[in-house]
Chains A and B, each alone.
Chain A
């Protein structure tokens, strides 16, 4: 063992468990002792540095961190926590929904939130809707003018346009025009234009079905499936429909309808729907029953509504006759 220790042997010495011969060499050889001491010194100093550093870094927050040590190992089962959380949320939602069902709350909320609903009426009033002045016309390109006759049934949709000559079909679709339900009609056996002269039965000089000199499936000189000189549905020259620049009439003076004796006895309840034309002065005209209730209540409703006074509907700021639908409720207390 004259030669000095090789680096691996020094490492072995350090780790421990080196061969006895090597250990003896270390004891004897000063050079190797110095080698080992140098390495040992470096390692010890390294250890000191790490210890010093770590204790300094740690001491800064030692107190806080120590208090943060867990006092409880668990906080209950996660499943239970999930279920209870779900239950709490469901209960909250249920309470909110339940509170929302109360009438005072609803009215309060409506008052609160009217500010959010933009009043678009002034802007809507400026839009021009030709549909508000209804009209229609048609014809079959015949030489003669349209002949006089009754109007077909008014309906909200048109499936078949009217024709003067009867249609031969096993299953007839009754012809209709798009018009308000209470338009003036003439008694006649065949369809025709009520404003025309009696003459040879003719569908008129217009085209695209219907009767008259216009275009489309209606009756008259206009375009569309209505009646009269306008365009679209409805009928021209008469009362206006609400919407499309026409403001709705509002009730100024109201008379409560009386209950009829029969209805009272029968404990009859329900609603009568009336159709009314509110004229320029706000008086109801042409009060007709749209949906009847029976037992004399229809008459009572018509009587009452005939006495009502309205603020007329406005078109471009001027009062115009307007169609209105009124529902009269009959309730027994």
Chain B
């Protein structure tokens, strides 16, 4: 997923539709993955992915190439998530109707590389614990955690994408990690 797309045309400020299509093809899975992990709702994730690329397309002239396209797109996605959260806070009835956080979905997709069934079960337990705990995190902590450990961005990139200072990112990440480790300790 770490496709590096030549974005010379983007930097020149003259993206054609084809080039943007290539950008979408390259980064769509990543953006979608982040949104899906953040929102845990396939419909919303798909909608916001569309929104994200639509915004990116409209603002493509403003992209100066100062950061990587991935950071830029994730920045847009983060803003969309923030907006979505504040909107959906009012829609409390939808939260009640939402099916149980897609935990079962995730269980099916845990890669099974363990030798013994016991180890596999334990690994599954751990992944689900992390997944549950991620839902408990605050929005900022969750965003930072997902960017770091799922999207594999480094601290500077996270800082650029979230608009926070590096120290702040570190603090959030630290707290997120602490709470997840506390959860994992319980399983052990």
Q: Which residues of A line the B interface, CB within 8 A?
A: 7-8, 10-12, 14-17, 39, 41-43, 45-58, 61, 65-66, 68-71, 73-74
Q: Does B42 contact A (CB under 8 A)?
A: yes
- Minimum CB–CB distance from A221 to chain B (whole Å) comes to 80
- Rounded to whole angstroms, the CA-CA distance of A14 and B181 in the bound complex is 12
Query: Contacts A11-B174, A57-B42, A70-B54 given: A50-B111 contact, CB under 8 Å?
Result: no
B150's partner among A12, A50, A71, A74 (CB-CB below 8 A) is A50
Q: Would you call the interface of chain A mostly helix, strand, loop, or mixed?
A: helix
A54 to B130, CA, bound (A): 17
Q: Which residues of B118-139 have CB atoms within 8 Å of chain A's CB atoms?
A: 123, 126-127, 130-131
B137 to chain A, nearest CB (A): 13
Q: A15-B177, A39-B181 are in contact. List 20 more A-B contacts (CB 8 A).
A: A7-B178, A8-B174, A11-B177, A39-B184, A42-B123, A42-B127, A42-B130, A45-B110, A46-B126, A46-B127, A48-B110, A50-B37, A50-B109, A52-B110, A53-B108, A53-B109, A54-B33, A54-B37, A58-B33, A69-B21
Are the CB atoms of B42 and A45 closer together than 8 Å?
no
Interface pair B150/A47, CB less than 8 Å apart = yes
How many chain B residues have a CB neighbour from A under 8 Å?
Answer: 45
Quick check: B36 and A49 within 8 Å, CB to CB? no
B57 and A8 form a contact (CB under 8 A): no
Residue contact B24 to A69, C-beta cutoff 8 Å:
yes
Complex partner residue of A65 from B1, B20, B46, CB under 8 angstroms: B46
In chain B, residues 3-26, which have Cβ atoms closer than 8 Å to a Cβ of chain A?
A: 17, 20-21, 24-25
CB of B158 to closest CB in A, whole Å: 11
Residue B140 CB within 8 A of the other chain: no
Q: Nearest-CB distance from A121 to chain B (Å)?
A: 59
Task: A15 to B181: give the CA distance in the assembly, Å.
Answer: 13
Residue of A nearest to B185 (CB): A7
Could you give, for residues 131-169 of chain B, a 1 whenever the CB lies within 8 Å of some chain A CB and a 0 otherwise?
100000000000000001110101100000000000000
Q: Can you report 17 residue pairs joining A to B where beta carbons are below 8 Å apart? A: A15-B148, A15-B177, A16-B155, A45-B123, A46-B131, A46-B150, A49-B106, A50-B33, A50-B106, A50-B150, A53-B105, A54-B37, A65-B28, A65-B46, A65-B50, A69-B20, A69-B21
**One of B37, B154, B178 near A11 (C-beta < 8 A):** B178
Chain B residue at minimum C-beta to C-beta distance from A52: B109
Look across to chain B and name the residue whose beta carbon is closest to the beta carbon of A73. Answer: B58
A45 touches B106 (CB 8 A): no
- The SS class assigned to the B binding surface is helix
Closest residue to B184 on the A side, CB-wise? A42
Interface residues in B45-68 (C-beta closer than 8 Å to A): 46, 49-50, 53-54, 57-58
Contact B149–A15 (Cβ < 8 Å): no
A53 touching B106, Cβ below 8 Å: yes
B9 CB to nearest A CB, Å: 16
> Which residues of A lie under 8 Å from residue B148 when comparing CB positions?
15
| Residues of chain B with a CB closer than 8 A to A66's CB | 21, 24-25, 28
Q: Which residues of chain A have C-beta atoms less than 8 A from B181's C-beta?
A: 7, 10-11, 39
A52 in complex: contacting residue of B21, B32, B111, B178, CB < 8 Å? B111
Contact A15 B111 (CB under 8 A): no
Q: How far, in Å, is A31 (CB) from chain B's closest CB? A: 14
Max chain B C-beta neighbours (<10 A), residue from A45, A66, A73: A45
CB distance from A131 to the nearest CB of B (A): 64
A74: nearest chain-B partner, CB-CB: B58
A330 and B32 CA atoms in complex are apart in Å by 85
Alpha-carbon distance between A48 and B106 when the two chains are bound, in angstroms? 10
- Give chain A residues whose Cβ lies under 8 Å from the Cβ of B58: 73-74
**Inter-chain contact A45/B126, CB cutoff 8 Å:** yes
B31 to chain A, nearest CB (A): 10
